Structure 1
Amino acid sequence: MLGSYPPEAVIGPTLLSVPAEELFFFVVQTYITTCLHILLNKPVLAAVYLRNEKVKGKFEPHKRVGQLFFAACFIVPILLPADHLEGTYMKLIVVWVAPIFFMLWTFGYQLLLSLPRSKTLLPIAAPTLFLWIVDTLALQRGTWSIESGTKLGIHIWPHLEIEEAIFFLVTNSMIVMGSCAFDNAVAILDAFPNIFPEVPGMPPPLLMLKSLFTSTSRYDQERLTGIENALTVLAKKSRSFYLASGVFNGRLRIDLILLYGFCRVADDLIDDAASAAEAETWIGHFTNFLNTAYSDSKDPSKLEKALSPFPSQAQTILRYLPVDKLPAQPLYELLEGFRMDLAFSNENASKPAPIQTEKDLERYATCVAATIGELCLSLVYAHDPDKHVKGAHDNRDECTQAGIRMGRVLQYINIVRDVTNDAETGRCYIPDHWLTATDTPSTAATKDANILACRKRILDTAFQGYHENRDAIEGLPSYARGGIRVAVESYIEIGRVLRKRIQNNQPLDFAGGGKAGRASVPKMRRVWIGWTTMAGHRGSV
């Protein structure tokens, strides 16, 4: 026997001389380490760390080196002479864990090598250090001990044997490597609908094993690149949705990222055009792309021709826009919203302001934001794992209309926030009929009392719409409610910041973590909003 427990330290039953407390400890250790790993990796989209090694040639040598190392860890201790008992405990640890490491490395090496170290090493190091301290106290008190003849006699620090330290290190490593292998299997299933056309909400073990045994040469590297590019665009240009995207799961998350990537690419190319004529040309290119993508012929050569005017990064995103799950009309209406923006250009300075009335404002918000709400919900219903259950989508039309109205709400908040930035580019989305003769779309006018009243009026309309439609989220498919709540609440929080500053008679335009002049919610506050929203708490109206 390598370890012993004094009778006074055991208060429960035993299994093969192992106290129940010891067995329960392994459950607690697994739970703690797994929870930390999940918490740190929830924001990560594992699919972007997959690689077709035939194309990239990045991981294959590392995979073989790791396999050889773990095979040697199993074989070498067995071949060592057994005439000395010292080191027996260490040998048994290594021989026991090496085959498990070999298997987990084989199934999860891509993520283990490419994930940020904070996502892999931290969930190993933190619980290990904690357990080292706890075990030191247990050994010091004599709660249990290792027989002196089987240990090396080396201490990490007083009372902590090296065998104990290694045991906790390798068991926590095993837990994290197992979690990475699980994430790797799910990522493969989610990323490649061409290989796995149908994936249940909770994939069965045999399907997950099949994904792990799938050769990386079958991975669609162009699709992986498109997803990665879309995620990069989101991280830079849409922090609220980037945060919310981590709450969604599976293929829904990937398709939402591709959809938002499309929207951001369109917004950037059209909005950053050097002239109205160039912007109109880009709108024409996007229209042609949609015409081709939604055509019945599905001609690959025509699609490539339609993509050719776009930058390479944009091509990778547009190519994998999930048009089979998205209605076409909202995408065309989104382009119409961009055309409304062009009416603010210098070429049209002599014409009446494009946003004359409250109806014009509503129409604009419908084009550029309500359409996004409709498109997002189309993906939610398309990916619903319970969609084949009778009556599951009976309230779809009602929820979709609420989503459209909520999209307008979020755009109103966006308009109130960006009055100064928009004015600098010659745009004013405040209805012209609300303005006085002295009001102009300039940065100086944003401090005017009437401009402030107009911003408050739009913000009040937004919060009224939020109050009227937020409960519709509870009617959505259960698997997507959390993500939709976080997406809405994280943006509504910007409105709360603006409203509070109005109530306190503070300037609305300030640098709060985003662009200068924009009200913004700091990152940690956005994380807190996401956390409390997922816990079932909603902010005040």
Structure 2
Amino acid sequence: MGHDYALVHAKYTMPPALLLSIIYAPLCTKLDLYKIGFLVTIAVASTIPWDSYLIRTGIWSYPPDVILGPTLFDIPLEEVFFFVIQTFNTTLLYLLLSKPILHPVYLVKEKKGDSWTYIKVIGQLAAALTIKKAAQYVKDGTEKTYLGLILIWAVPFLLLLWSLAYQFLIQLPPTSTVIPIALPTLYLWIVDTLAMKRGTWVIESGTKTGWVLWPGLEIEEAIFFLLTNCLIVFGLVAFDNATAILNTFPAHFRRVPDLPSPVLLVRALLLPASAYDDDRIIGIQQAVDRLRKKSRSFYLASSTFQGRLRIDLVILYSFCRVADDLIDSTDTSSEPREWLQKLKTYLDLSYSDAVQGKDGRAVDAKDANQDPGILYAEQQFPQNAKLTLILLPTHRMAKEPFYELLKGFEMDLTFGSKTPSGPIKTEADLDLYGARVAGTVALLCIQLVLFHYPGTSESRAKLLMAAGHDMGIALQYTNIARDLGVDARDGRCYVPAGWLKKEKLTSESFIAGLKGGTPEAFFLKKVETVRQRLLERAFTFYQNSIGAIEQLPYPARAPMRVAVESYMQIARELQRPGYKVKGGRATVPVLKRLWVAWSALIGPRR
């Protein structure tokens, strides 16, 4: 009895598993665990009969002095464990690289006459021809027998997965498909080379071609590891394709359980792509694109939320950005107020009695034939804005925060060349502004969380709303502190007059100093004093509300910590001398953003 094969696991397969587990643990969800268990079960169940046949027919063997001894259907337990650990490692790498992706973005509505049918058939034909050739290899019983057995076992599974998820496989970025296949495959090629040289497992010479990829690596082994990793990733892609369909199309799947059954997953995959809601897909794509371009912090944080909640939060952000852009990016003085009025009308119609349920909220699903808000959005708003308004889940949120948000935008419209301080005269004015433009958004986010994860008592919900409102103000103070120079170029000063007076400045002199050339050192010192006061105020609101995050429904706690801490890290960077500035704004380096997010997932900041 030996332990060479066990050492292969101890040295080469278990360390990556441990490392990937440590890295991914804070990100892991119940759905991820379900996915891992699902894939491992299928991998083991589908591989054991095939591997047992190879051993019993003498295609390959394991010398008695390299294995511990116990077997399952003649397969050494070390080999059975290999099926588990390979699937586990490749799955974790895939999950880690796929975490930032919002999968509904990569769904495609299939239309008559487009190229997707041909792509599907070409893939199916290539797989069918490969299976035919493999069957011939096995029938001939020559040196290509082992190669034929590998292909005739793996390719039918690949054919099935291709037929179910070919669009998704092509659409997904290579970082979530090619890399999770290529890296584990290359690594296992190296491990296999070392194991074959040591004689840990042996392929019989009469059943192999004798071709090698490099010295010590049989071509059959190279193909085996490539195909098995393809099987794992294709299976994961099919799983994510199914959950994306379930989460994206409530018209077809009204309710989605946290852990969808295999039957429900197959039902989703069998939904014809021609039945997809193209407007919904495009609207989500536009929303994600806005989030990615406009807020790297919230884009990173959004990846930690799950399912339909993540989609709703992204669309909510998109609405806020669309509304802000419509009001801000205009050519005439009257146009902003026209857009503001149109947004109010849209909300009036969306929350009208015609679409209200008995509980005072809008009906559970928007219907273009019933919802006057949708009809108004289609008629009155530009193409790049209307889908966000149509998809906005107003039925899951109260109307008051939206109207307050519009009042915040209205406050912005009072800025002008004659009134650079706009409506911000006192600290209370700035608090009110922060409450309207950011506290309202935080309230809406919490309402979405409580909708998707029901069961919170009314008293706790009120506490969460109040804390979320204050946290939104903290984030707005951070935003103002970061953007002093950017706002000055737009002719705006959000700093209360009393604060400026202490520094012997006015809003006019403050703006002029930041806009003109290279400011004097004494002026920059005053700017930094103002900035630090804004940050102190931000952290006051932050400290008063951060504890409430731990009262949120469990699935939303860690993601909400990431959202808050990712943005408040900007404030911490601004407190450090020599902070980095990009485009006139302080930035957080990528690696630090990732570390902050990972740390927030582990637990509350101490």
Q: Distance in 2 between matches of 1:226 and 1:55?
A: 22
Q: 1:34-64 deviations in whole A, cap 9, x for unaligned?
A: 0000001111111111111027934222122
Q: Return 5+ residue gaps in structure 1 as ranges.
A: none
**Residue number in structure 2 paired with 1:464:** 540
Residues 152 and 393 (structure 1 numbering): CA distance in 2 closer, same or farther, change over 3 Å?
farther
Summarize the Cα distance change of 1:351–1:38 in structure 2 as closer, same or farther, 3 Å threshold. Answer: closer
Cα deviation 1:186-206 (Å, max 9, x = unaligned): 000000011111111121222
* Counterpart residue number, 2:22: none
Q: Is the alpha carbon distance of 1:87 and 1:394 closer, same or farther for their aligned partners in structure 2, counting shifts above 3 Å?
A: farther
In the alignment, structure 2 segments of 5+ residues that lack a partner are 1-57, 356-369
Question: For residues 315 and 374 of structure 2, what CA distance do their matches in structure 1 show?
Answer: 17
Going from structure 1 to structure 2, the CA distance change for 1:81 and 1:185 (only over 3 Å counts) comes to closer
Deviations 1:478-515 (A, max 9, x none): 111121111100000000001122xxxx4x6x524xxx
Asked whether 1:521 is paired with 2:591, we answer no
C-alpha distance after superposition, 1:344-395 (max 9, x if no partner): 123xx159741111110000000100000000011101111xx2x5x66651
- Residue type matched to 2:239 in 1? F
Equivalent in the alignment of 2:388: 317
Please give the alpha-carbon distance, in whole angstroms, between the structure 2 residues aligned to 1:526 and 1:235. 14
Note if 1:95 corresponds to 2:155. no
Whether 2:553 is the aligned partner of 1:482: answer no
Deviation at 1:283, TM superposition (A): 0.7
Aligned equivalent of 1:337: 408
The CA deviation string for residues 141-199 of structure 1, in whole angstroms up to 9 with x for no partner, is 11111000000010000111000000000000000000000000100000001111111
In the TM superposition, what are the counterparts of 1:297-446 in structure 2 within 5 Å? 297-298=354-355, 299-300=370-371, 303-346=374-417, 349=418, 353-384=422-453, 387=454, 389=455, 395-436=460-501, 438-439=505-506, 440-444=509-513
Decide whether the 8 Å contact of 2:350 with 2:372 is kept in 1. no
2:172 pairs with one of 103, 107, 115: 115
Name the residue aligned to 1:178.
Answer: 235
- What is the one-letter code of the residue matched to 2:321? R
Query: Which residues of 2 match residues 21-60 of structure 1 at below 5 A?
Result: 21-54=78-111, 57-60=114-117
Letter in 1 for 2:544: E
Q: 3-state SS of the aligned residue for 1:354?
A: coil
Q: 1:138 corresponds to which residue?
A: 195
1:76-135 per-residue CA deviation (whole Å, 9 max, x = no partner) reads 332458344211000011111122112111222121011111210110000000000000
Does the Cα contact within 8 Å between 2:420 and 2:493 map onto a contact in 1? no
1:482–1:534 CA contact under 8 A, matched in 2: yes
CA RMSD of aligned residues (A): 1.9
1:67 corresponds in structure 2 to 124
- TM-score, length-scaled by structure 2: 0.83
Q: CA deviation at 1:70?
A: 1.9
Distance 2:104 2:486 in 1: 36
Name the residue aligned to 2:597. 530
1:454 to 506, 525, 530: 530
CA contact (8 A) 1:289 1:306 kept: yes
1:438 CA displacement: 3.5
How many Å separate the matches in 1 of 2:137 and 2:528? 81
- Per the TM alignment, residue 304 of structure 1 is displaced from its structure 2 partner at its CA by 2.5
Per the normalisation by structure 1, the TM-score is 0.93
Give, in whole Å, the separation in 2 of the partners of 1:137 and 1:476: 51
Note closer, same or farther for the CA distance 1:327–1:84 as it changes in structure 2 (3 Å cut).
same
User: Corresponding residue for 1:216?
Assistant: 273
Shift of 1:285: 1.5
Aligned to 2:334, what secondary structure does the other structure show?
Answer: helix
Shift of 1:403: 0.6
User: Deviation at 1:291?
Assistant: 1.4
Give 1:126's aligned amino acid: L
**Number of equivalences:** 524
For residues 239-277 of structure 1, the C-alpha deviation after alignment (integer angstroms, 9 at most, x for no partner) is 111111111110000010110000011111211222432
Do the aligned partners of 2:374 and 2:389 also contact (CA within 8 Å) in 1?
A: no
Distance 2:61 2:262 in 1: 38
Q: Which shows bigger deviation, 131-140 or 424-433?
A: 424-433
Q: 1:449 to 1:80 in 2, by over 3 A?
A: closer
The range that moved more, 520-529 or 359-368, is: 520-529
Amino acid at match of 1:423: A
Counterpart of 2:299 in structure 1 is 242
Asked if 1 retains the 8 angstrom alpha-carbon contact of 2:90 and 2:232, the reply is yes
Structure 1 pair 124–96 and aligned structure 2 pair: CA distance change class (3 A): same
Q: Which amino acid aligns with 1:251?
A: R
Find the partner of 2:259 among 191, 202, 223: 202
- Change in CA separation of 1:364 and 1:147 when aligned onto 2, cut-off 3 Å: same
Q: Taking structure 1 as reference, are residues 58 and 441 closer, same or farther at Cα in structure 2, changes over 3 Å only?
A: farther
Tell me the alpha carbon deviations over residues 501-538 of structure 1, each in whole angstroms, 9 at most, x when there is no partner.
Answer: 2xxxx4x6x524xxx21111122321221112112262
**Bigger Cα displacement from structure 2, 125-134 vs 193-202:** 193-202
* Equivalent position amino acid for 2:533 in 1: R
SS of residue matched to 2:354: coil
Give yes or no for contact 1:402–1:469 (8 Å, CA) kept in 2: yes
**Structure 2: how far apart are the matches of 1:392 and 1:125?**
49
Match of 1:511 in 2: 581
1:307 Cα deviation after fit: 3.6
1:293-346 residue CA offsets vs partner (Å, 9 max, x unmatched): 222335456633344332201111111100110111111111111111111123
Whether 2:317 is the aligned partner of 1:265: answer no
2:77 to 20, 27, 37: 20
Q: Which moved more, 1:254-263 or 1:287-296?
A: 287-296
Letter matched to residue 369 of structure 1: A
AA aligned to 2:538 is A
Change (3 A) 1:425 1:15: same
**How far 1:208 moved relative to its partner?**
1.4
* SS of residue paired to 2:492: coil
Distance in 2 between residues matched to 1:355 and 1:448, nearest whole Å? 22
Any conservation in 1 of the 2:138–2:144 contact (CA below 8 Å)? no
Residue 302 to residue 35, structure 1, CA distance change in 2 (3 Å): closer
The residue type equivalent to 1:330 in the other structure is P
Aligned AA for 1:13?
P
Contact kept, 8 Å, 1:333 with 1:371, in 2: the verdict is yes
Aligned equivalents of 2:309, 2:112: Cα separation in 1: 27
Deviates more, 1:397-406 or 1:352-361: 352-361
Contact kept in structure 2, 1:189 and 1:199, CA below 8 Å = yes
AA in 2 matched with 1:518: R
Could you say what secondary structure the match of 1:297 adopts? helix
Q: The residue matched to 1:373 in structure 2 has which SS?
A: helix
Q: Where does residue 51 of structure 2 map in the other structure?
A: none
Tell me how far apart the structure 1 counterparts of residues 82 and 479 of structure 2 sit (CA, whole Å). Answer: 51
- Cα distance in structure 2, aligned partners of 1:158 and 1:490: 49
- Structure 2 SS opposite 1:156: strand
Q: Secondary structure at the match of 2:353?
A: coil
Identity of aligned residues (%): 46
Q: Which amino acid aligns with 1:373?
A: A
Secondary structure of the residue that 1:194 maps to in structure 2? coil
Cα distance, 1:355–1:236 mapped onto 2, change above 3 Å: same
- The answer for the alignment partner of 2:572 in structure 1 is 496
d(CA) in 2 for partners of 1:47, 1:332: 30
